[in-house]
Structures are given as C-alpha cells and as structure tokens.
Chain A
Amino acid sequence: MSLLSLAQTVTNFEAPDVDYAALSPAIALTVGLVIVLAAGVIGPRGNRWLSSGLTLLTLAITAGLLIWRLGEPDAEIIAGALGVDGLSITIALMCVVAAAFVVPLQLRDVAAEEAGFGESHALLLGSVLGMLLLAEAQNLITFFIALELLSIPLYVLCGSHRIRGSSLESGLKYLIIGSLGSATLLYGMAFIYGGSGATDFDAIAAGIGTDLADDPLILIGIALCAVGLAFKVSVAPFHQWTPDVYEGAPTPITSFMAVATKAAAFAVFARFFIVALGPSVDQWQPALAALAAISIIVGNVGALGQDSLKRLLGYSGVAQAGYILVGLLVATEEGVSAMVFYLAAYTIMNLAAFAVIAVRERETPFGDDIESVQGLGRDRPALAWPLTIAMLALAGLPGTAGFMGKLFLIESSVGGDYTWLGVMIVIGSMISLAYYLRVISAIWMRPAPQLAPAIAGASPDAHGAFHAGDGSSREDREDRPRPSGPVLAGRALRGGPSGGRCSLVVGATIIAAAATIVFGIAPSPLVDFAENAGSSIVEMVGQVGQTG
C-alpha cells in the first residue's frame, strides 16, 4: 500500500473533467495528511519517529510529483480554477522543501511534543496543501479557500506551545490579524467581482478596462486586495503582527511561516495582479512601489534595535518582502523570475538561520536572545558558520545566493524603469548590515556569556560600547515574556539542554548554508528553475491578451 503505487493508479485513471495527473501532488499531500493524522494515535503523544518519517515520505512523494509535473506541459484543472504551471510548481516545491526542513527541527521540539506529533505534522501538511493550492489558484474562490487552508493550521501551530503565554499570544494575534487580512481581501474580491462580473482571473482581466478612473468599484477592489495580500506577506505598514507572532511561535513553526507562507502568498499576489489585474497595471504599480519602499525602510530600521533574534528576523522578513515586491511590481518576465529566485534564496538562507536559533534555544537558557549565539564561533563552529553565511546572504554580500537574488531584483527594477527602487534595495541592504553584522560580531568577536541562572542580571560591561546606545531597548526586553520557569523546568525533565541530539538539525543547517554559497557562486540551476515561473506568467498574460 505504498503511496507511490497509489499515486500511480490515480495517474492512470482516465476522467474527462479532472486532470488527475496534474492534481496528483495535491492528492498525495491530502492522503499523507490523513495517514499522518491517523498514525498520531500510536503512543501517548504520537510516535515521534513514525510521524516524522511518514511526513517526510509524504513530502518526498509530493516533491517527486511536482518535479515530474515541471517537465510536463502546463495544465488548467478543475474548470480552470487551478493552474499547474511553472510559477505554481516552483513555489510549491519551495514550500515542500521548507516543510521537509521543519520536520527534523520539530523532532525534539517541546511544542510539537506537547501538541502531539501526529496532530502537529498533520497541521503542517495541511498548511502545505493550502500553499500548493494557493500557488495554483486562478479563480477568486480557490484563491480564498486555499488562503484559509494555509492560514488556519498555522494559527493553531503558532499557539501549539500551550504552557507558554507568548505562544498563545502569538497564535491569537495571528488569528485576529490574519482574519482581518482575509476579511479585507474578501471584501476586495467582492468589489472586483462586482466590477468585472467574473471570478476567473483571465475573465477578470477581460472584464476590466485599462483606464480605471471611471470605475471606482474595481479601484476599491484592487486597493482592498492589495492591503489584504500585504497583510499576508507582511509588507509594511501592514506588518505589525510579524515580529510578535514570529517571536511567540515555536521556532520551527516560525521558520516555516517566515519562508513558505511568504512564497505562496507572493505566488498568488503575482498571479492575481499580473494576470487578473494586468490591464490596470498603471494604476497599481505606483501604489505597490510605494509599499515596497516603505517596507524596505520600516523593516530594516525596525530590526536595528532588536535583541531577540526571531524579532530581528521578523523585521528583516518585512524588509525582504519589500525587496521581493519590487520583482513583482515591475510585472515583467525578468521581474517574476527575480522574485522566484529571491524567494528560493530567501528560503534556504532563512531556514539555516532559524535552525541555528532553534538549536541554541535548546542548548542555552537565553532563548532566542542574541546572547545565545555569543561565542558560538569558538564553541560550535558547525553552527557558527551556517548562521554567519545566512546573515551575510540576507545582507546580500557577494558569494552568496542573497547577492545573486538582489542582483536579479535590481536588474529587473532598472529594466522596468524603477531604478529608484533598485537604489532603495541597496539603501535597505546598507541599513541591514548594521544588524546582521551585530549578530556576526556576537558569534565571532564576543566571548560566550556565563551560563548563570540569573539572565536579567548579565554584567553590563560584557556588552561594552556596542550596547551603549540602546539602553531603552534593553529595558523593554525585560517586559517581554522570557522562556523561564515552566519551560526550563520542562527541559530539565527531559534531561536539560540537549547537545548532541540535534545532529540531524545541524546537518540540515549545514546543507542549507552550503546551498546558499553554491547558488551564490553558480546560480544557473536556480535561475533556470526560477525562469519556469517567469515564462509561465508571460504565457498567461499572453493568453489573456488573445482572448480579451
């Protein structure tokens, strides 16, 4: 009863309406989800290894099917509601890779253990399924359903560490803000449906004119949709939830949310705006350009004073969303390719960074504070190098995939007559260096802090002149819920900070970091991968032009 043979029988099945072959990745995920959920009943909190193994198997089969579909011609399935093409497959692959990376991270995670491994992994797979469908959506209905399918498991996962207040806070906050975003988006969709009379993306494109000055319905619809999607990809000024939710959620979930949600939401963002709203590109382009610029500045400035690494990466994610938005808004083949390339690069470098944070959270009592990585260069080079590479790549220094990604984005911005946004990306990178380098200097240039139980009373002179300016932010930090009391006690029950048991995670981290370097030196494979997406967008726009 192997899943592969099941998938093959599904593939061979002949049906007039549904192209099951094209749908096979989604089917594989659904079947895997059910099996993982069912297997979760074994053992008091699910069997750690069985559940993880089944999840990885499901993801591997899905990835295999996706790679197979990448070579096949594009297909529209379920009466054009879903489109299986370069864009959706590349993005779905990123989400699957991110999920597969999270599984080993969850292996020793307190939150996953408390929530039960079966449930945790089933929710994770559900979210991946939502992402897959979202990337394929080309109809307002599937768009919205997929978005909710993506979001709801994440709301639960964020709050899955139930004994920690900040995790519950994170889940609730994400639920409320996410619902607000969804509601705004839905409202905007209603306006667009009202204005164009269609729910299919290509029909919408045919239904709206190029001049929207006399069409307030569509204009309001576009504005509301842009705001709703901006919430989902955490573009400033709709980003306020990001740092709080990232910080509170269990770190494996944060890493998944940071990369996969962003990738899937950007896929549908691109498809919706470039295909469905393509005719009115002149109206939304300046607005998105302003959002991108604000996001770059707000994200980078916001990250400056952060001592919590997860908050820091949250703000950095806001800035990165701004960069990625630049690739989207120029609405060219190069732009979409650059967007997908950057998303892929962003995925691997962020996963490496979050994995190191997760490991250090378990090894030290400092939580995700920057102190947890101090002296890492001397003590744990196997973790220090990946984190260093990830930080350098996020900052966009040469020799890393981050540099290549920025290169493509700047090239597409200059090519799309948005040179000033290219300059904004560069200015953002300069600001970002200040905080990324702070992490690197903590790793390599500061001694490891004394492992004393009293964290709050860490000697001030150990921080030297570097912290001299941000006394206020240190005080703020005291108000933040810190992983103390019950968490530490819980860890103690399981044998205290676990050193050697994270070797699987360390291995995955090293692979991600190595990929960051490899794609920074030889980007061609990833470029070819990303170009699948760019060319499919151009094809779609071309088809709309013929029919419309």
Chain B
Amino acid sequence: MLSTILWLPLAVGLVGFMLPKRLVGAWALLGSVGSLVLAIALVAGFDGASGALQESVSDSWIPDLGVRYELGVDGLSVFMVLLTSILWTASILWSAFAHPDRARNYFFMLAVGQTAALGAFMAQDLLLFVLFFDLMLIPFYFLIGGWGTGDRIRATIKMIVFTLVGSLLMLVAAIATAVLSSDAAGGLTFSLEALRQVPLEDGSQYWIFCFFALAFLVKMPAFLVHGWMPDAYRAAPLPVLVLLSGVLSKVGAYGFLRVVIPLFPDASIHFQELMMIIAVASIVYGSIMAFTQTNVRLIAGYSSVAQLGFITLGIFSLRPDGGDGAVIQMFNHGLVVAAVLFVIAILYERSETEDIREMGGLAQRAPVLAILFVIVTMATLAIPGSANFVGEFFILTGAFESKVALALIASVGIALAAFYALRMYQRTMHNRLPAGMVSREITLREGAVLVPLVGCIVALAFYPGLITTRGEVSVERSLASLEEPETVAQR
C-alpha cells in the first residue's frame, strides 16, 4: 500500500514522457487524483488508537551498510501523506489548466517532488529519510529555475546552497549516528526504531543534534537561516510555491518529531531553550516582516516563517500538548498557506501585480472570491472556531507548561497575525478599484482548486479531533524517550 502511494507519482511522471504534449497535464492530474484516493484510503484505514507503525514495509536495500527500505505511517505522518497528496493534486490541477511550457518535464519534476516528499514522510530508516529529504530539492531546483519568474537562477542557487548546507551535514550526522551506535545495536543499522533503543552518549548527541537541527530549520525556514526564502518565493511559479510552502516546510518540522527528539533526547533537552528562542524569534520576526511587506508573496512567505515558528515552539515545548498542537498545525498551515497562495495567483490574474498597494476593490464584483478569501484569512489569524485556533491553543498550552516567558512573547504573535492577515485582505479586496485592475468573479478553473481547499479548512474547523486523536498517541511515543533521562536526573 505505502509503496504504491510512494512510487505511483513517479511512474505517472515517467509514463508522461511517452504521451503527446496536450495530454500530459490531464494524465498527471489523473495520477495525482489516484494517489489522493489512495491517501484517503490510507487515512480511512488508519487505526487511530494504536501508536505503532502501520502498513509497514521492510526490505533489504543496501545490506552492506545496514540500510533498509523501511516505510510505515503513524499518527505523525499519516496526515502529512494526506496533505502532500491534497496539495499536489491542487497544484497539478492548477498547472494542467495553465499549460506550462515543456509540459512533460514540468509534470515529471512535479512527480519526482511528490515521490520524494511522500518518501520523507514515510521513511522509517534514517538514511532513507535523508535520501528523500535531499532528493526533494532537485525537482524544485528545476521547477523554479525552469519555469520561474524574475531572477530565478540566482534564487535557485541561493536556495540550493542554503538547503544543502544543512542537509548534507545531516547526511554525515546520520552516518555518524549509525556508526557510533553500531556496537550497542549489534551491527550497522539505520532503522529509526533500532536506533532509538540505543541512545548515544551526550557529547555525540550534541553535535549530531546541531547538524540535524540546522537542516530542518533551513528547510522551514526559521529565523536566521531564512535567507533563501524571499528570493525563492519571488521567483517560484505559484503552483510550485504552494508545494514549497505547504509541504516542504513541514518536512523540517516533521523531522524534529520523527528523528531528532526520539533519537537524541538528551540533546533535545539540552538545546530546548535555544530552539524555543529561535522559534519565538521566528514568530516575532516573521509577523513583523509580514506586516511591513508589500509584495503578497512575501507576506505569505514571512507569515509562514511565523507559523513554522509556532510549530517549532510546540515541538520543543517537549510536552504532549505542544506536540499535538504542532501536528495539527502542520496540517492546517499546509492547507491555509496553499489557499492563500492560490488566492494570490487569482489576484495576480486580475491585477497583473503582486504589490498590495496597487490592488484593491476586488470584493465589489467578486463576492464569492471575497468570501473564500475571508475564510482563509480568518483561519490564518487563528480565530476561535478555526482549526488553527485549536492548534495554536495546544501549542501555547505546551509552551506555557515548559517556559512561561517565551510563551508570553509567542502569544503576541497571534495578535500580530491578525494585523498582517487582515491588512492583506483589506488592501486587496476592499477600498477603491485602482486603474488597470479588473474585478472579476472567480472562474470555474480557479474555483475547482480553491473551493475544495477552503472546504477542507472549514471541515477541519468543525472536526479537528480527526487529527488530534490520531496524532496524540504517536506524539507521546515520540516524546517517550525523553522521559528516561529525566527520571534519571530526578533520582
């Protein structure tokens, strides 16, 4: 089951090379819908009460290094798989109508990206995870460089250098983890389950933690290592940006829960404060930047920095509440940011600009679009009743339980979110219609992408328990390895 979901997009992409150009988009869409259906079936068949891995696959891959082809999903990853499938379907749907230049390559790259992202969420072998994590970058390099706008080559080089600095160091760290624990584990193994049984000694944990944390923070991106983000956000084609912002950034957060905390519990406790400070700095910095930017893409980008800051804060509260909040927020943010970016794409088609100072008045003739956008905006600012509210509430509960001062500062971020989200809505939809801008109602094609996304957001607002109940067992399992050292310290 998991292998099918994982490799289906790649297979579809490869077959796409043999099809006539006109059909490639439709074929890719068909494939992505297929994997979405499989992902929904996966979630439906998921046993929420058990924290163990489900649908596990385990085959020998590189026996000499003890690397295995191990896949599995638990409460942490099953919704990430769903999110990946949803957003890829949306993105391919949008692209298929847009008829991109060199369509076969375009959809092939999208397919490689989907397989890589799904692989990163499913992998239960450390090296397999690192491999997929690195692989994700390649298609996005080509997509931004080949189909982007503006100074795309500089943007791609910057993105690659930033992200690979992190992820290649992660490769060394992963190998070091396996080699250093090979004596205790009885042979070289990269299996996450086996590695968590034999924690490393503190000194090794510390530097390995730093390498992993750097890779994940860059991917998010977090404050201080976000330098690639503005250029990449400006240059990326919008359907690609949806994936970059909606899915790829989550892999970093997911990596903390899947790899870092279970494998390096002592280091996680040791660096907890530092990570929370980075998280809070990301929240404050991202919110303020989002409030001052005039480019809609950058508003979305910096708001992502802030939202990912919240997620990191929840994870490194090292409390079950915070972790739960992070898991639901990862899903929420993926949906919401995707919706925001598609709205931006719709706005661009009406105004030919991405500067909010030159927009306005769209709501006059486009009430449906305005309503959809207002729902998305409300979700962004985590208004009570939205699923984001649930997520941020849990995160802050966790944060208050562990570090009150930092939690207080983080709470300010929620207020700031209201500022930037409402400002963007107001400047684009209200006020007077400027010259050169056409107020046009949402088209069928735009609606086909946006309405289901908004539908998901609304549905989740009514029933956030869908994720939280399934996530919490796994979060507790992920945090379980923290408890042993704590009890040792208390004794």
Residues of chain A touching chain B, judged by Cβ–Cβ distance below 8 Å, are: 337, 377-378, 392, 396-399, 403-404, 406-408, 410-411, 414-415, 419, 422-423, 426, 429-430, 433-434, 437, 440-441, 444-445, 464-466, 523-524, 527, 531
Which 7 A-B pairs have CB atoms at the shortest separation, nearest pair first?
A398-B131, A426-B168, A414-B179, A398-B135, A398-B134, A445-B145, A422-B172
CA distance A361 to B135 in the complex (A): 32
Find out whether the CB atom of A414 lies under 8 angstroms from the CB atom of B176: yes
Other A-B pairs, 11, CB within 8 Å; known A429-B164, A430-B161: A397-B135, A397-B138, A410-B172, A411-B65, A422-B176, A423-B169, A434-B161, A441-B156, A444-B145, A466-B153, A523-B62
CA distance A324 to B143 in the complex (A): 33
**Would you list which residues of chain B between 174 and 224 have a CB under 8 Å from chain A?**
175-176, 179-180, 188
Size of the chain B interface, CB-CB below 8 angstroms: 37
B47 CB–A CB distance under 8 Å = no
Find out whether the CB atom of B138 lies under 8 angstroms from the CB atom of A437: no
Find out whether the CB atom of B171 lies under 8 angstroms from the CB atom of A524: no
CA distance A415 to B182 in the complex (A): 10
Find out whether the CB atom of B151 lies under 8 angstroms from the CB atom of A465: yes
CA distance A465 to B158 in the complex (A): 13
Task: Report A275 CB to chain B, min CB distance, Å.
Answer: 23
Q: Is the interface of A mostly helix, strand, loop or mixed?
A: helix
B45 CB–A CB distance under 8 Å = no
**Would you list which residues of chain B between 130 and 147 have a CB under 8 Å from chain A?**
130-132, 134-135, 137-138, 141-142, 145-146
Find out whether the CB atom of A433 lies under 8 angstroms from the CB atom of B142: no
Find out whether the CB atom of A408 lies under 8 angstroms from the CB atom of B179: no
Find out whether the CB atom of A410 lies under 8 angstroms from the CB atom of B135: no
Task: Report A537 CB to chain B, min CB distance, Å.
Answer: 16
Identify the closest chain B residue to A466 (Cβ).
Answer: B153
Q: Which of B102, B160, B165 contacts A378 (CB 8 A)?
A: B102
Q: Which of A397, A444, A464 contacts B146 (CB 8 A)?
A: A444
8 contacts across the A-B interface (CB closer than 8 A): A404-B62, A406-B171, A410-B175, A411-B188, A414-B172, A430-B161, A437-B160, A445-B153
B157 CB–A CB distance under 8 Å = yes
Q: Which of B62, B134, B135, B171 has most chain A Cβ within 10 Å? A: B171
Q: Please judge, given known A-B contacts A392-B138, A411-B65, A415-B179, whether A426 and B171 are in contact too, CB under 8 Å.
A: yes
Q: Which of B130, B135, B172 has most chain A Cβ within 10 Å? A: B172
B63 CB–A CB distance under 8 Å = yes
Find out whether the CB atom of B145 lies under 8 angstroms from the CB atom of A441: yes
Task: Report A193 CB to chain B, min CB distance, Å.
Answer: 38
**B176 contacts which chain A residues (CB < 8 A)?**
414, 419, 422
Identify the closest chain A residue to B142 (Cβ).
Answer: A444
Find out whether the CB atom of B63 lies under 8 angstroms from the CB atom of A524: yes
B64 CB–A CB distance under 8 Å = yes
B68 CB–A CB distance under 8 Å = no
Identify the closest chain B residue to A395 (Cβ).
Answer: B164
**A414 contacts which chain B residues (CB < 8 A)?**
172, 175-176, 179-180
Q: Please judge, given known A-B contacts A410-B171, A426-B171, A527-B62, whether A433 and B161 are in contact too, CB under 8 Å.
A: yes
Find out whether the CB atom of A423 lies under 8 angstroms from the CB atom of B157: no
Task: Report B8 CB to chain A, min CB distance, Å.
Answer: 17
Identify the closest chain A residue to B102 (Cβ).
Answer: A378
**B105 contacts which chain A residues (CB < 8 A)?**
377
CA distance A433 to B168 in the complex (A): 11
Task: Report A293 CB to chain B, min CB distance, Å.
Answer: 15
**A337 contacts which chain B residues (CB < 8 A)?**
64
CA distance A464 to B161 in the complex (A): 20
Q: Which of B151, B153, B165, B180 has most chain A Cβ within 10 Å? A: B153
CA distance A392 to B137 in the complex (A): 12
Q: Which of B134, B138, B175 contacts A411 (CB 8 A)?
A: B175
CA distance A422 to B145 in the complex (A): 30
Task: Report B148 CB to chain A, min CB distance, Å.
Answer: 9
B445 CB–A CB distance under 8 Å = no
Task: Report A297 CB to chain B, min CB distance, Å.
Answer: 15
Find out whether the CB atom of A430 lies under 8 angstroms from the CB atom of B165: yes
B234 CB–A CB distance under 8 Å = no
Q: Please judge, given known A-B contacts A415-B179, A426-B171, A523-B62, whether A445 and B146 are in contact too, CB under 8 Å.
A: yes
**A378 contacts which chain B residues (CB < 8 A)?**
102
Task: Report B149 CB to chain A, min CB distance, Å.
Answer: 12
CA distance A106 to B239 in the complex (A): 46
B152 CB–A CB distance under 8 Å = yes
Residues of chain B touching chain A, judged by Cβ–Cβ distance below 8 Å, are: 62-65, 102, 105, 127, 130-132, 134-135, 137-138, 141-142, 145-146, 151-154, 156-157, 160-161, 164-165, 168-169, 171-172, 175-176, 179-180, 188
Q: Which of A403, A430, A434 has most chain B Cβ within 10 Å? A: A430
**A465 contacts which chain B residues (CB < 8 A)?**
151, 153-154
Find out whether the CB atom of B152 lies under 8 angstroms from the CB atom of A445: yes
CA distance A229 to B65 in the complex (A): 30
Q: Please judge, given known A-B contacts A426-B169, A430-B165, A441-B145, whether A407 and B151 are in contact too, CB under 8 Å.
A: no
Find out whether the CB atom of B153 lies under 8 angstroms from the CB atom of A433: no
Find out whether the CB atom of B175 lies under 8 angstroms from the CB atom of A397: no
Find out whether the CB atom of B171 lies under 8 angstroms from the CB atom of A407: yes
Task: Report A441 CB to chain B, min CB distance, Å.
Answer: 5
CA distance A337 to B64 in the complex (A): 11
Task: Report A41 CB to chain B, min CB distance, Å.
Answer: 48
Task: Report B256 CB to chain A, min CB distance, Å.
Answer: 21
CA distance A423 to B208 in the complex (A): 12
CA distance A527 to B130 in the complex (A): 20
Find out whether the CB atom of A429 lies under 8 angstroms from the CB atom of B168: yes
**A444 contacts which chain B residues (CB < 8 A)?**
142, 145-146
**A527 contacts which chain B residues (CB < 8 A)?**
62, 64
CA distance A464 to B145 in the complex (A): 14
Find out whether the CB atom of A531 lies under 8 angstroms from the CB atom of B64: yes
Find out whether the CB atom of B172 lies under 8 angstroms from the CB atom of A397: no
CA distance A419 to B174 in the complex (A): 12
Find out whether the CB atom of A397 lies under 8 angstroms from the CB atom of B134: yes
**A423 contacts which chain B residues (CB < 8 A)?**
169, 172
**B153 contacts which chain A residues (CB < 8 A)?**
441, 445, 464-466
**A410 contacts which chain B residues (CB < 8 A)?**
171-172, 175
Identify the closest chain A residue to B66 (Cβ).
Answer: A411
Find out whether the CB atom of A426 lies under 8 angstroms from the CB atom of B156: no
CA distance A464 to B188 in the complex (A): 49
CA distance A441 to B64 in the complex (A): 36
CA distance A411 to B151 in the complex (A): 38
**A440 contacts which chain B residues (CB < 8 A)?**
141
CA distance A403 to B127 in the complex (A): 12
**A437 contacts which chain B residues (CB < 8 A)?**
141, 156-157, 160
**B172 contacts which chain A residues (CB < 8 A)?**
410, 414, 419, 422-423, 426
Identify the closest chain A residue to B165 (Cβ).
Answer: A430
CA distance A426 to B165 in the complex (A): 8
Identify the closest chain B residue to A397 (Cβ).
Answer: B138
Q: Which of B131, B156, B164, B165 contacts A403 (CB 8 A)?
A: B131
**B151 contacts which chain A residues (CB < 8 A)?**
465
**A397 contacts which chain B residues (CB < 8 A)?**
134-135, 137-138
**B169 contacts which chain A residues (CB < 8 A)?**
423, 426
Find out whether the CB atom of B175 lies under 8 angstroms from the CB atom of A407: yes
CA distance A406 to B175 in the complex (A): 11
**A426 contacts which chain B residues (CB < 8 A)?**
168-169, 171-172
Identify the closest chain A residue to B17 (Cβ).
Answer: A381
**B102 contacts which chain A residues (CB < 8 A)?**
377-378
Q: Which of B156, B168, B175, B188 contacts A430 (CB 8 A)?
A: B168
**A523 contacts which chain B residues (CB < 8 A)?**
62
**A396 contacts which chain B residues (CB < 8 A)?**
168
CA distance A410 to B179 in the complex (A): 11
Task: Report A380 CB to chain B, min CB distance, Å.
Answer: 14
CA distance A524 to B180 in the complex (A): 24
**B127 contacts which chain A residues (CB < 8 A)?**
407
Identify the closest chain A residue to B207 (Cβ).
Answer: A419
**A398 contacts which chain B residues (CB < 8 A)?**
130-132, 134-135
CA distance A392 to B135 in the complex (A): 11
CA distance A396 to B172 in the complex (A): 13
CA distance A527 to B176 in the complex (A): 20
Find out whether the CB atom of A411 lies under 8 angstroms from the CB atom of B179: yes
